[in-house]
Amino acid sequence: LAKTTQPISMDSYEGQEVNITCSHNNIATNDYITWYQQFPSQGPRFIIQGYKTKVTNEVASLFIPADRKSSTLSLPRVSLSDTAVYYCLVGDMGTGGFKTIFGAGTRLFVKA
């Protein structure tokens, strides 16, 4: 499983765009990149997933350069409720399940 590296914490203000970058230098050909969000005392929540280039959904965008050794989660116009821990995960299904390894994640603090 590819190891991921993210900033430990980030601060932002309401209304700003936030970009969280994850490094995964040893990403394998079959690996996908997935981001989860976790609020205190809740389970992680899927945000977005991609393999290459750019993926966008209703909550975020994911930018993946051609070499796939990093990825950037972009949250447009954050609000106070986006304060959470954001995890970047890299891997594939294997033979019958996804051995999901969470790193320490990035703690995002959104201020008023």
Partner 1 sequence: EPEVTQTPSHQVTQMGQEVILRCVPISNHLYFYWYRQILGQKVEFLVSFYNNEISEKSEIFDDQFSVERPDGSNFTLKIRSTKLEDSAMYFCASGHRTSGDTDTQYFGPGTRLTVL
- Burial (CB < 10 A; 0-12, 13-18, 19+), residue 6, is buried
- 30: nearest Cα among 91, 71, 88, 87: 91
- The contact mask relative to partner 1 for 71-90 (x = CB under 8 A, - = no) is ----------------x---
Q: Which two tokens stand for residue 80?
A: 């106070």
- Cβ neighbors of 63 (< 8 A, separation 6 or more) are 53, 54, 71, 72, 74
Tell me, by CB under 8 A, how many residues bind partner 1: 29
Part in contact with partner 1 (CB under 8 A); list of ranges 3-11, 13-21, 45-53, 61-69: 45-53
Q: How far is the CB of 45 from partner 1 (least distance, A)?
A: 7
Contact between 58 and partner 1 by CB under 8 A: the answer reads no
What is the gyration radius of the CA atoms in the chain, in angstroms? Answer: 14
C-beta of 18 vs 90, nearer to partner 1? 90
Interacting residues with partner 1 (CB under 8 A): 30-32, 34, 38, 41-46, 49, 51, 87, 91-105
